[in-house]
Structure 1
Amino acid sequence: MDLIGPTSQSFISQRTKLHYADWGNQDAPPLILLHGGRDHCRSWDWAAEELRKDYHVICPDLRGHGDSEWNNTGYYTTIGYVYDLAQLIHQLDLSPVTIVAHSMGGNISVRYTGLYPENVRKLVAIEGLGPSPKVQSERSKQPFHKHWTDWIDKKRDASSRSIRKYDSFKTALDRMHEANTYLTRDQAEHLTRHAVIRNEDGTYSWKFDPHLHAWPMDDMSIKHQQELWGRITCPTRFIYGADSWASNPETDGRMKYFGDNASVTEYDRAGHWVHHDRFDDFMAEVKAFIE
């Protein structure tokens, strides 16, 4: 008998209990759907429902997100997330695995694939290459010490302010819908249901750690990221929304660091969340690509 929905599972990485939704069908080829920053694993439900018959679909909650634990320090690094993904794939013996990932999840997955190219069968990254060369150039103009003093200020702000509370579920839903007006009201409601927690006083708050607003500057260099990009050997598809703030690597020059196995698709009438904004077209492309 088919499962009605996914089961909630967990694994341990860096002494932290991390959650993932397992959609069953364990004898099928493994497929990880990885969400973006300040999102959650259940944002993939529509995609998972369509893919579960042909794949063993696993949707992790990144640390500090969804139903995964927060870091006690509130300190989150990209390489820490790469380690968590490596541990999930290692502990569940998933390689070679197919990965479809969004935004920050895409950035994590691209780096993992560059580190372990033999472990990834196919990769789809929705706007998952991180800051564009233009943004990187602007950041480089700022003195090194200023990057870190700004980060300290953001950390202090995150630690001193109260977690945002919404008086009603509808107020939180309105905020979700405001963040992405391409969503239908039903989509926004589903995403909000899994994104909030009910507080003891009856209010609602987002599940993600507010310290995620303060992103540390210690990261691998652009040169080293490009080196990892060149190590990717599996078929790779980058997907972008024409109405998004994210920079398309075909026009900003980053595609030259990838081999002939990588390609780009851009969707009109779509923003940063292409997998929500153009769901039917997105699913048709992904199914054909990862088949």
Structure 2
Amino acid sequence: MLTVAKTKSRGQEKSLRPRGFCTIRAVSELRAGCATARSRFLVVAGLRLHLLEWGEAGRPGLLFLHGGSAHAHWFDAVAPAFAGRFHVVSLDQRGHGESEWASPPAYGTEQFAADMLGVLDALGWERAIVVGHSMGGHNAMAFAAWHPGRTRALVIVDSRPAIPEERLGQMHRRGERAPRRHPTIESAVASFRLLPRETVADPALLAHLARAGIVRRDGGWVYRFDPDCNRLRRPVDGWPLLGRIRAPALVLRGELSPILPRDMAERVTGAIEGAELVEIPGAYHHVVLDAPAAFTAAVEEFLPRI
């Protein structure tokens, strides 16, 4: 159910109630999403990038970008809903999932945005609707500011324009730790935790993400993620970029998110001309996982207006 709240001076604010996502339904929808997804690799500026795609080529492009330490399967429960109207792609960003690790390490916002541009070119997309969660949202904001002619619309999902120095330091220190190796796939799946940990996501969905995100390497099971993505992360300050975004924009936040407080979400919305704000009650930072049906409904309600 969509509830329209007070309209802001430069945007609109709405609240969308999440609907239930029971385990049986989760398993059914994830199987359907994986069955219809096509796995594909592209080489962009010498780096091999992996993506999942749904829908037919030639339709308008819709690009999903996951958060830090995540992977393209983060959108398995929602991407198929858009396949009837769009050519949908979920990208494993460099150093994540099945995409290649950058050597030497290069994990600045500029590199992530350049990869996005290369993916659009390789797919033959003149413009794309870009949906980014957390780190993916940060990269999407920068891309929309730097490449306004290539951005048809922007959906920012619980993402901040800048990372506080304290949190960035924690990220760098986390990247210095040796990746933990698990003796079995079961122990690796059992160890899977979101960061931040708060979630109401379906356990079946979390188990699916864990299995999709691990690989056997050097005698053990490890997560598909380059630690240097954290150790050498160089995000730009996105606040000065927001005023340069010209695409229609939707800002989504989880009501209970510790990452994007409500006042900051309102600042982001106000800084982007004509942007709308939608809050998902009961959801934490991982909005796509906590409330996939409400997330899908919010995006579907926004897209006809772009």
Tell me the TM-score range normalised by the shorter chain: 0.7 to 0.9
Q: 2:228 aligns with which of 199, 208, 211?
A: 211
Shift of 1:154: 6.7
Question: Could you tell me how far 1:130 is from its partner in structure 2?
Answer: 3.6
Q: After TM superposition, give the deviation of residue 106 of structure 1 in Å.
A: 0.7
Local SS of the residue matching 2:35: coil
Q: Match for residue 211 of structure 2?
A: 193
Total equivalences in the alignment: 268
SS at match of 1:253: helix
- Does residue 109 (structure 1) correspond to residue 140 (structure 2)? The answer is yes
The Cα of 1:200 is off from its aligned counterpart by: 5.3
Report the alpha carbon displacement of residue 3 of structure 1 after superposing the two structures with TM. 9.5
> What is the Cα deviation at residue 177 of structure 1?
4.9
- One-letter amino acid matched to 1:283: T
Residue pair 1:123, 1:237 contacting (<8 A) in 2 also:
yes
Equivalent pairs: percent with the same residue? 25
Tell me by how many angstroms 1:166 deviates: 1.8
**Residue 121 of structure 1 contacts residue 235 of structure 1 at CA under 8 Å; is this kept in 2?**
yes
Aligned to 1:244: 257
Q: Hey, what's the Cα distance between the residues in 2 that align with 1:122 and 1:32?
A: 10
SS in 2 for 1:46: coil
TM-superposed deviation, 1:116:
1.6
Report the structure, 1 or 2, having the larger helix content.
1
Question: Which structure is higher in RCO with an 8 Å CA cutoff and minimum separation 6?
Answer: 2
The reply on whether 1:285 has 2:298 as its aligned counterpart is yes
Q: C-alpha separation between the residues in 1 aligned to 2:81 and 2:269?
A: 30
- 1:6-36 Cα shifts (integer Å, max 9, x gaps): 2222222232111111223113221111111
- Write the distance in 1 (CA, Å) between the matches of 2:259 and 2:199: 17
Partner of 2:280: 267
User: Paired residue for 2:12?
Assistant: none
Q: Which residue of 1 aligns with 2:19?
A: none
**Equivalent residue number for residue 128 of structure 1:** 159
User: Is the partner of 1:204 in helix, strand or coil?
Assistant: strand
Residue segments in structure 1 that go unaligned for 5+ positions in a row: 141-146
Matched, 1:168 2:184: yes
Contact 1:10 1:20 in 2 (8 A): yes
| Separation (CA, whole Å) in 2 of partners of 1:288 and 1:57 | 17
Give the alignment's TM-score, normalised by structure 1.
0.82
The alpha-carbon deviation at position 207 of structure 1 amounts to 0.5
One-letter amino acid matched to 1:122:
A
Q: CA deviation digits over 1:128-169, x for unaligned, max 9?
A: 23436xx36x789xxxxxx7xx95x776x34xx3x3112333
C-alpha distance in 1 between matches for 2:210 and 2:167: 33
The code of the aligned residue for 1:84 comes to D
Q: Tell whether the 8 Å contact from 1:250 to 1:264 is kept in structure 2 after alignment.
A: no
SS of 1:288's equivalent in the other structure is helix
- The CA deviation at 1:57 is 0.5
Q: Which runs of 5+ in 2 are unaligned?
A: 1-32
Contact 2:42/2:48, CA 8 A, preserved across alignment:
yes
Give yes or no for contact 1:198–1:205 (8 Å, CA) kept in 2. Answer: yes
SS of corresponding position for 1:182: coil
What's the RMSD between the two structures over aligned residues? 2.7
Partner residue in 2 for 1:144:
none
CA shift for structure 1 position 249: 6.2
Find runs of 4+ consecutive structure 1 residues off by over 6 angstroms.
none
The amino acid of 1:18's aligned partner reads L
Aligned partner of 1:17 in structure 2 is 48
Structure 1 residue 197: deviation in Å? 0.5
Distance in 1 (CA, whole Å) between partners of 2:105 and 2:96 is 12
Counterpart in the other structure of 1:257: 271
Q: Residues 12-91 of structure 1: matches in 2 within 5 Å?
A: 12-91=43-122
Other structure's SS at 2:36 match: coil
TM-score (norm 2): 0.79
Tell me by how many angstroms 1:214 deviates.
1.0
- Of the three residues 182, 194, 201, the one matched with 1:183 is 201
CA distance in 1, matches of 2:207, 2:116: 28
Structure 2 residue matching 1:176: 3-state secondary structure: coil
